Amino acid sequence: MYDTIIIGAGMAGMTAAIYASRKRMKYEILAKEFGGQFMISGEILNYPGIVETTGTELSKTMQKQMQVNNIKVKEEYVKQIKKQDNHFIVIGENQQYETKTVIIATGSRPRKLNVPGEKEFTNKGVTYCSICDGPLFSGMDVAVIGGGDSAMEAVDFLKDIASKIYLIVKADKLKGHEYLIENIKSNDKVKIIYNAQTTEIIGSKLVNGLKYKKQGKEKSINVQGVIIEIGRNPSTDFVKGFLKLDKHGHIQIDCQTQTSVPGIYAAGDCASGHEYQYVISAGQGAMALIKAARYLASLKK
């Protein structure tokens, strides 16, 4: 019987694992692979104690920290969690784990546009990871879809790579960090199209354009790359019906990271109150583990 099973190896899950390891708890950290959103992040400029870093750099440091604390991520895809008496069974694709507590830190995945051509041209000009595939668009015209921080960060990353960038925004303004908005508005390479609903991604073998609707009229632009940054969906399907979720599918937690089932905690982007900030995910991961440890102590009484 494990003290805790941590599901997910991004910022929240890794922080929980560091604490679990230092508390000498009997635990496993299960994930399809090490690394969450932070791995594919460009610049990170708002983590206290770190002036400036990148996702790749942070991920390397984290791997070193894993070695120091003897943390090994077990490759496992979790399908379900069940309650049995006063403990839980975590059902993975390879194995089952009996545990007294569970920490869920499964994060989120990019939201899809759900328009014709999107699926067909994924990795053929359509991408959800600007820092991965962005450099492939050097000298090309691209469209970034979205109006928030992630979309603006993608534009910022592409500004020295692409020759022209269209930013397709559904709303009538940009929403996010002021410095990003200023940066983007003052760049000649960037054309912002507001009140535009993307309707189709077109191409033959690879993407060559995009159609959108603005004020009832359909328009099109020629682009070789389409970067989709319209938000994220939490990866919580495996606990649907077992834990209480909010209307967007995030696991409902209280201010102590406890879910609707005592003994189960959730942290990071999969949980309600998420703000897609590394420091929040790390903080919640630590809190979830400490609260789980307190819960364990209360079981022994």
Find the binder of another protein among 7, 102, 113, 131 (CB under 8 A): 131
**Angle between helix 11-22 and 55-68 (nearest 10):** 20
Give which of 39, 24, 38 is closest to 71, Cα–Cα. 24
> Within 10 A of 94 (CB to CB), how many other CB atoms are there?
9
CA–CA dist 249, 241 (Å, integer): 11
Of positions 23, 47, 110, 133, contacts another protein by CB under 8 A: 133
Long-range interactions of 46-49: CB distance < 8 A, separation 24+: 46/277, 46/279, 47/278, 47/279, 48/279
65 is a contact residue toward another protein (CB under 8 A)? no
Using CB under 8 A, which of 23, 40, 53, 260 touches another protein? 40
Taking residues 186 to 205 in sequence order and writing x for each that binds another protein by CB under 8 A, - otherwise, the string is: -------------------x
- Our finding on whether 59 is near another protein (CB under 8 A) is yes
Exposed/middle/buried for 221, CB within 10 Å: 0-12, 13-18, 19+? Answer: middle
* Interface with another protein (CB under 8 A), residue from 35, 146, 263, 285: 35
Question: Judged by CB under 8 A, does residue 225 bind another protein?
Answer: yes
By CB under 8 A, residue 253 contacts another protein: no
Count interface residues toward another protein (CB under 8 A): 24
What residues numbered 134-163 form the site for another protein, per CB under 8 A?
134-136, 138
Given the complex with another protein, which of 40 and 193 has the nearer CB atom?
40
180 binds another protein (CB under 8 A): no
**What are the tokens at 285?**
């991961």
Whole-number minimum distance, CB 124 to another protein, in Å?
5
Those residues with Cβ within 8 angstroms of residue 236's Cβ, 6 or more apart along the chain or in another chain: 104, 106, 243, 245, 249, 250, 251, 270
Q: Which residues pair with 164 in a beta bridge?
A: 141
Please identify, among the stretches 82-90, 93-101, 120-128, 266-274, the one whose residues bind another protein according to the rule CB under 8 A.
Answer: 120-128
Q: Which two tokens stand for residue 155?
A: 């534009």
Give the count of alpha carbons within 13 A of 152, CB side only. Answer: 18
Residues 15, 106, 108, 127: which binds another protein (CB under 8 A)? Answer: 127
Interface contacts to another protein, rule CB under 8 A: 35, 39-40, 42, 55-56, 59, 122-125, 127, 129, 131-136, 138, 205-207, 225
